[in-house]
Structure 1
Amino acid sequence: MTGRRYAVSDVMTRKVVAVKAKASFKDIVRTLRQWGVTALPVLDDERRVVGVVSEADLLPKEEARGADPAPGARAADGSAAAKAVAVTADRLMTAPAVTVAGSATLALAARIMARNGIKRLPVVDAAGVLTGIVSRSDLLKVFLRDDEEIAEEVRRDVVGWLFVTPPESLRIEVHDGVVTLTGRVRDSTLVPVVARLVRGVEGVVDVDCALMGPLRRPDLDPDLPDIAEFPPA
């Protein structure tokens, strides 16, 4: 198929707020509050993503207020006890960071988020340099595609690809992202293939496939002759 698939770089936010590895605790809190986010990528001097610091990484300090530091808590082991006494991003952050490439599909980004239970992913290039951020809401942008745009892609890149001569009776309607397919096709084995490919078009919410195979001719009675013979009048 020739249909274009959206990549993470098509929907990500390119203006990203991040902090350096030596950013102070208060600077992190201030930045989170100022930008209204819950997590920040942590960068080294080459803007490579080395971790992510979130509100959850900061809370151990509040939880441990008034308590004596645990023995060995200053070790950078990523434990809650260590984070309770940490004062810079490189000691507070969760590392290594879970990231995604800009060329990745939206489906892959969604799977990474679901598997790791996170809402935002730093987007990096081949060198690990930060290029953007993608959130759950960004991944949903494709569902804002215009119905006619979706219908045209289905006609061009699904029907036009599967059938040398598209069936005249095949009708495609799209309403609020739901694609309805009606009509008949010569090869009924292609019906589930059409439905599956349409479902893969970016922005499709659901598919109602009512396609049918060709009309079947009634079987002739084998006992009847092919040519009826009548006696002369």
Structure 2
Amino acid sequence: MTGTPYLVSDVMTRTVVALRRGAPFKEIVRTMRRWNVSAMPVLEDGDRVAGVVSEADLLPKEEFRDGDPGRYTQLHRLADLVKAGAGTAGDLMSSPPVTVPASATLAQAARIMALHKVKRLPVVDEDGALRGIVSRSDLLTVFLRDDEDIAEEVRRDVVAALFPETAGPIDVAVRDGVVRITGRVTDTTLVPVTTRLARAVEGVVDVDCALLGPRRHPDLDPDLPDTASIARPPGTGGAG
């Protein structure tokens, strides 16, 4: 995995509890209880994902069990009223489903979850067939990456790539996912780029880029400022 983005296929759960369109209401509830899940994909035409049934889709049946809904409810919660009268997964499910391909990066999956306000996504192939499921907790797995593994990638893919020639040794240390980069470089304009690229490495929590320019020589450059005292560019601070 070093040097390449983590993909959904790397962290997804491959054994998935799923339903067919005709699954009755009580079977859905029993299955959720048995497998301790709060949502399940609904399949049709083999393994193609047609929709998703969640606990939220089931609750209207209990909510509207007693009494007749008022006019306001009839006007503004028609979808919930329809689900209150539904009896199968096909009628209860949310469709079209929000899914993610196995080849998506974890960042892409996280954006889809945030955009659609969902906690998990069915993982599908190019034909829409179910291949797994990925949850919020799965996306956080990347932060369990070993600190030295992160440090080695930063050294190789960030520092060595940006600074093939340096004004001195550059040290990369990682602790609990926080990267600290120290040393001297010939071109300090690349410091913000270094911070941005290091932060993009999988598993990085924060970056403290403390790179400095070459040491000045007072006897040769008496009018130049001491680069050791130059403030770091914005955005290169510590973990805070």
Please indicate the TM-score interval, normalised by the length of the shorter structure. Answer: 0.7 to 0.9
CA shift digits 1:123-168 (9 cap, x unpaired): 1111000111000000000000001111111111111222324664
Matches within 5 A, 1:191-202: 191-202=191-202
Unaligned 5+ residue runs, structure 2? 71-76, 224-240
Measure, in 1, the Cα distance between the counterparts of 2:205 and 2:172. 15
Question: Could you say which residue in structure 1 is the equivalent of 2:27?
Answer: 27
Distance 1:145 1:78, change over 3 A: farther
Question: Could you say which residue in structure 1 is the equivalent of 2:44?
Answer: 44
* TM-score (norm: length of structure 2): 0.84
Question: Could you say which residue in structure 1 is the equivalent of 2:82?
Answer: 82
Once the two structures are TM-superposed, the CA of residue 68 in structure 1 deviates from its matched residue by 5.1
- Kept in 1, the 8 Å contact 2:171–2:181? The answer is yes
Larger radius of gyration: 1
Question: Could you say which residue in structure 1 is the equivalent of 2:211?
Answer: 211
- Kept in 2, the 8 Å contact 1:20–1:45? The answer is no
Matches within 5 A, 1:143-222: 143-165=143-165, 168-218=168-218, 219=221
Identical counterparts, % of pairs: 65
- Kept in 2, the 8 Å contact 1:42–1:50? The answer is yes
- Does residue 5 (structure 1) correspond to residue 5 (structure 2)? The answer is yes
One-letter amino acid of the counterpart of residue 38, structure 2: T
Unaligned 5+ residue runs, structure 1? 71-76, 222-233
Measure, in 1, the Cα distance between the counterparts of 2:24 and 2:167. 66
Give the RMSD, CA atoms, in angstroms: 2.1
- Kept in 1, the 8 Å contact 2:166–2:186? The answer is no
- Kept in 2, the 8 Å contact 1:170–1:184? The answer is yes
SS at match of 2:169: coil
- Kept in 1, the 8 Å contact 2:49–2:128? The answer is yes
Q: Report the number of matched residues.
A: 215
Measure, in 2, the Cα distance between the counterparts of 1:116 and 1:220. 60
Measure, in 1, the Cα distance between the counterparts of 2:170 and 2:156. 13
- Kept in 1, the 8 Å contact 2:165–2:186? The answer is no
